[in-house]
Amino acid sequence: MNVFDCHTHWAPCFQNRDGRNPAAWIELIRSAGVSHAVILPFTGLIHDGKVGQDNDDLAAVCAHPAAEGRMIPFCTAQISVPDEGLAEIRRALGTLKMRGIKFHPWLQGLSPGWAAMDDVCDLAEEFDVPILFHDGTPPFSLPAQMALLAKRHPRVQIILGHTGLFEHWREAIAAVNLTPNLWPCLCSPHVAALKEIVRRCDPQRLLWGSDHGFTLDNFYPYRRGLMELIGLDDKQREAMYDVNPRRLLKM
Amino acid sequence: MSSIIDAYTTSGTERETALPVEELIRQLDDAGIARAVVAPEDREIAVHNRAGNERIARLAADAPGSPGGTGAPGNAGRLIPACTVNPWFGAEGVKELSRAVHAGARMLVLAPALQGFYLGDEIANPLYEAAKEMLLPVYVHTGPHGPAAPTQLALVAMQFPRTRFIMGHCGSTDHAHDMPAALKLKLPNLWFELSLVRPFAIHHWGKIAGDERLIFGTSAPRNLPRHELQHADLSWPIAKNSGTYGRNIEALLAEVRP
Ligand SMILES: [Zn+2]
């Protein structure tokens, strides 16, 4: 069985240490029993001037032979200037062949309610890629905000990157159950919430993520361990770690 | 027997904190945790304060190993009762606080998001004043964006310098960005509780605050004590940080005077 980690980052700590070579990064996820990872930007989320550079770096890292095709790059863009942001997304998905889009709306200062976000969804539909959002925090990252966006774009697959964190996970469950194209990524809620999410959400849409990679701390022993505490059966495990992400990412 | 204390647990009856007390004790045993503060559950924190405080006092008194309890001797006082009061009950709430502390409660729990108030709202001031008189630590759940941020609690702690506050969860998750500044204040009446903090990141807070300011907690049953303690130890070793893992909370609880 593959194990897809659907929420990881390529942060400056790796870029500065390893350049565009993911060998050490891959070795770490392999030692944690992870076979594939969705790689989200980091620098591009916090520095508007480096969005293009970060997308270039991420695409190159994931295309490096050491990545063995196991790293799936998502791009980002600053859409407060819509034309520029949309052009960058088109470049990242087209020229760079990145496989999805990531937003961290409160960090980037972008509301899922903006018209430009609808334009992003149109692009995602055109390229047939999912959009992953940081969620669990106001004022721009509520599960309900992603759910309404997903409802406006029923053919675009939208991922709740954290399924509500510690406070909005019940809201996230309701949002997922009301929105067939909204996918909960089990990344960061506590054990009791994770159990409830698994119990109450569509098993065909559950994903797992570690949030590994935004510091040099090793997130895996703790986060992999958490998943062993929630009583998944083999079928749920296979769906969440392997079948669902492959369907979502078309692999 | 270890001297580790878990500063926040719940033995609830419903929703995600449903956990019979025997099972809580079993989880503490499994983790090697000697004692735990046990708090009322969410509905009791929000509305049924007195019923919750009485339930927790009873539960702690009857727990296996406690004086008057049914279990093996030698574990007296294994569960330490906390109480709660919703600030909206006003003077009546202050009375309930005093009653609960006389009945054995050793910590006041406030959860602004559950109780419908914002830190900084003077509605809670009478409780802070009452807690000051009793040297009763006030544990505040932080994290919810708007009602309960670390900066908001730090400001309350400055406003009430003789009331002792414990910052539950250190603002986890996204208010973690505010934590270095809050920790560097070094307020003498503010401690930092670690449940819901990513265990592998505790050392970052430890390096700023030092062992004397941190307090280990698990928020069981939202988390499993064994898993939390094991990973906290890897980041911030038990062997070197006896304050974090028991001494700090023990000292605070010991000084309560009803
Ligand atoms: Zn992340």
Report the CATH number at residue B59: 3.20.20.140
What's the whole-number average pLDDT of chain B? Answer: 95
> Could you list the residue range(s) of the whole structural domain that residue A91 is in?
4-249
Contact A241, A1 (CB under 8 A): yes
CA distance A138 to chain B (A): 7
Q: How many domains does chain B have?
A: 1
Of residues A190, A196, A217, nearest to B200 (C-beta): A217
Task: Determine which of A163, A169, A170, A191 to mutate to test the interface with B (most B C-beta atoms within 10 Å).
Answer: A191
Cβ–Cβ below 8 Å for B146 and A188 = no
Task: Determine which of A163, A217, A223 to mutate to test the interface with B (most B C-beta atoms within 10 Å).
Answer: A217
Measured between beta carbons, the chain B residues lying within 8 angstroms of A136 are 173-174
Q: Parallel, antiparallel, or unpaired: how do β-strands B214-215 and B35-39 relate? A: unpaired
Residue A165 φ/ψ region, left for φ over 0, alpha for ψ in the -120 to 50 degree band, beta for the rest: left
Residue A220 has what pLDDT? 96
CA distance B1 to chain A (A): 26
Per residue in A166-212, pLDDT tens? 999 999 999 999 999 999 999 999 999 999 999 999 999 999 999 99
pTM: 0.96
Per residue in B236-257, pLDDT tens? 999 999 999 999 999 999 999 9
| Residue stretches of chain A with pLDDT short of 50 | none
* DSSP three-state, residue A137: strand
Q: Is the confidence at residue B75, as pLDDT, over 60?
A: no
Residue B76 has what pLDDT? 59
Confidence of residue B5 (pLDDT cuts 50, 70, 90): very high
Give residues with Cβ within 8 angstroms of A241, minimum separation 6. Answer: A1, A2, A3, A4, A208
Edge-to-edge strand ranges of the sheet holding B35-39: B5-10, B35-39, B79-81
A165/A173 Cα distance (integer angstroms): 11
Q: How many domains does chain A have?
A: 1
Cβ–Cβ below 8 Å for B199 and A222 = yes
Report the CATH number at residue A94: 3.20.20.140
> Could you list the residue range(s) of the whole structural domain that residue B98 is in?
5-254
The CA A134 to ligand 1 mean position distance, Å, reads: 7
Q: DSSP assignment, residue A67?
A: G
Q: Is the confidence at residue B70, as pLDDT, over 80?
A: no
A153/A81 Cα distance (integer angstroms): 21
Per residue in B143-176, pLDDT tens? 999 999 999 999 999 999 999 999 999 999 999 9
